[in-house]
Amino acid sequence: MKKLLFLLPLLFVSLLILLIQAQTWDWGGPVDPLQAKFQIQKYRLELEIFPETQSIAGRSTITFSSQEKLDTLRFQLIDQYQVSKVLMDGKEVAFSHQNDLLDIIPIDCTCDQVQVFYEGPTPIAQNPPWTGGFTWEKDQMGRHWMGLSCQGEGAKLFMPAFDHPSSEPQQGVELLFTVPKPYFVASNGRLIQTQDQGQKVRYHWETNYPINNYNINFTLGVFEKAETQFQSISGAVVPMAVWVLQDNKSKAKELLEVLRVSAQTHEKYFGAYPFPEDKIAVVETPYLGMEHQTINAYGNNFQFVSMGKVKYDWLLHHELGHEWFGNKVSVGDWADMWIHEGLTAYGDWLFYWEHGGSESYFEKATTESRDIPHAKPVVSPPNSTEKTAYHPEIYTKGAMVIHSLRGVLGDELFFPAIKAFASEEQFTYLNLVTTQDFTDFIQQFTGQNLEGFFELYLKTTRLPEVKVKKKGKDQFLVSLEGIEFELPVEVKTSTGIKKYPLGKTPTLISSTTTPEVDPRGWLMLQR
């Protein structure tokens, strides 16, 4: 009986942990009114990581600013962690921690910092990176290997945070990790210091760039490092590094070269690498991958393919592309999440264009377009949560919209416009963007009225229907039904390919053969 009574609490705790770990978290939506009153200046996160128990103990120092006196400081932190104390001006203050919210009652002072002490078991990722959390595995030598993913959940999975996409620490983050030897922790920014503590080691990382909460990241393991220097088109010499498991050390140099080619390709079309004071880096992770500012997660098993004269890894290239769209150009509302994913996905297509040639590029476009279900608009309603806004079409249709934009504008306008958007000070780093910002800028930059185009393809699921009707000898009436504007569309006739302005009013086209509308597949049309 005593044994049974002893076991019951253990069974209850085990069940509770399973229930907690099965929970899913969302973020985004409207900004909490209590959080709208202050801004985050900097996070300083000190974490001790315990691989054997898959747990952490943290001290988070949050620097904030506000234009008004605050009666509550509200942060998000999952209930799985136990908060032991909160300090302001060196004094303990009252707090409440429930429903994944940490409410702190500030003391009557001019403090602009708060320290939160917490610890507990890490939430386990159920399907990383799509359902995030901590992924704990072991390498082939039986050593711990941990990756973190939280795009769908936010930073509350590992630290107290103003957890909203519109909130980025204006002065960056400091990240200090204490781990047992022989483990290394790869993280964002620059490695400032490595401190030997006997049986433990402490790694101090720092970045002064603003950073989205889900991009704050760290990966633990025993790694082999390969490094070089990347010559940016800006003139900066940027450290470039890859960390792979020691099992894969023979592949590190090849991975480094693949990374270099990808960075070079992105720079050609999107401009100079956005974080030259930090690094360009990849770390091998126990899940597929994710964009994390200056330390992209890579778990694609070195599946390099030849593309022209170079090697290509679709996952590495895609995640690296987020350094421009997602990290440098960021949205403050998940409604506009397609800007992160659609423009980055189109960057994948441009690798085909640059290294595989036009035939490879158009084949890629045709394949991607064929699989778009047109079930949801690319742009979600305002104040969307991540789970509402995140769906496959922000990738596939988002990229196709950019491809279509190229077809409409022509390369001489399109490429300078996209590069300019990624370079404009008003749209980069702390200056969060919206879909309207993007569409307004493209129209202003090119001098083209594209309101109908953007409204149709970004905000609806409708597609224009192609109509071709014979009219007399060697003449045809060609129209696009279902739109109230005209699109410049390539039409292939007996004399070749030429652009025509097509809309609901039929256009008379001469040809000895039936005209083929949009033969190269620039646009999304019902054919």
17: in domain: no
416 and 479 fall within a common domain = no
Q: How far is CA 126 from the centre of its chain?
A: 19
58 and 142 fall within a common domain = yes
Give the number of domains in the chain. Answer: 3
pTM: 0.94
14: in domain: no
Nearest to 148 by CA among 29, 297, 329: 297
The reported pLDDT for the residue numbered 110 is: 78
User: Has residue 17 got a pLDDT over 60?
Assistant: no
Measured CA to CA, the distance from residue 80 to residue 60 in angstroms comes to: 16
Measured between its terminal Cα atoms, the distance across the chain in Å is 75
230 and 348 fall within a common domain = no
The reported pLDDT for the residue numbered 6 is: 38
15: in domain: no
162 and 309 fall within a common domain = yes
295 and 381 fall within a common domain = no
CATH (domain of 374): 1.10.390.10
**310 Cβ neighbours under 8 A, 6+ residues apart:** 258, 261, 355
The reported pLDDT for the residue numbered 175 is: 98
The reported pLDDT for the residue numbered 376 is: 97
Final residue of a structural domain among 321, 342, 368: 321
Helix (H) or strand (E) holding 481: strand 475-481
Burial level of 105, CB count in 10 A (0-12/13-18/19+)?
middle
488 and 366 fall within a common domain = no
22: in domain: no
Pairing of strands 55-66, 113-121: antiparallel
Final residue of a structural domain among 459, 488, 505: 459
Q: Can you read off the two tokens belonging to residue 122?
A: 């890490």
User: Has residue 355 got a pLDDT over 90?
Assistant: yes
Q: How far is CA 393 from the centre of its chain?
A: 15
Nearest to 262 by CA among 236, 298, 287: 298
Q: Which of 17-21, 359-363, 431-435, 444-448 has the lowest mean pLDDT?
A: 17-21
Residue-wise pLDDT for 270-323, tens only, equals 999 999 999 999 999 999 999 999 999 999 999 999 999 999 999 999 999 999
219 and 274 fall within a common domain = yes
**Contact predicate 173/44, CB 8 Å:** yes
361: in domain: yes
308: in domain: yes
CATH (domain of 135): 2.60.40.1730
Q: For residue 494, what are the CA distances in angstroms to 354, 489, 497, 518?
A: 31, 16, 9, 14
The reported pLDDT for the residue numbered 23 is: 63
Amino acid at 509: I
Helix axes 252-270, 338-351, angle to 10 degrees: 110
Q: For residue 302, what are the CA distances in angstroms to 113, 226, 285, 290?
A: 44, 15, 12, 15
**Contact predicate 324/274, CB 8 Å:** yes
477: containing domain: 465-517
Measured CA to CA, the distance from residue 240 to residue 256 in angstroms comes to: 8
Final residue of a structural domain among 321, 356, 383: 321
Q: How far is CA 362 from the centre of its chain?
A: 25
Confidence grade of residue 511 (pLDDT, cut at 50, 70, 90) = very high
User: Has residue 107 got a pLDDT over 90?
Assistant: no
User: Has residue 21 got a pLDDT over 90?
Assistant: no
Measured CA to CA, the distance from residue 367 to residue 51 in angstroms comes to: 43
478 and 430 fall within a common domain = no
503: in domain: yes
> For the residues 235-242, what does the mean pLDDT come to?
98
Nearest to 37 by CA among 167, 155, 216, 157: 167
311: in domain: yes
314 and 343 fall within a common domain = no
> For the residues 374-399, what does the mean pLDDT come to?
97
Confidence grade of residue 15 (pLDDT, cut at 50, 70, 90) = very low
64 and 189 fall within a common domain = yes
Measured CA to CA, the distance from residue 104 to residue 88 in angstroms comes to: 10
Look over the chain and give the mean of its residue pLDDT values, rounded to a whole number: 95
257 and 405 fall within a common domain = no
271 and 307 fall within a common domain = yes
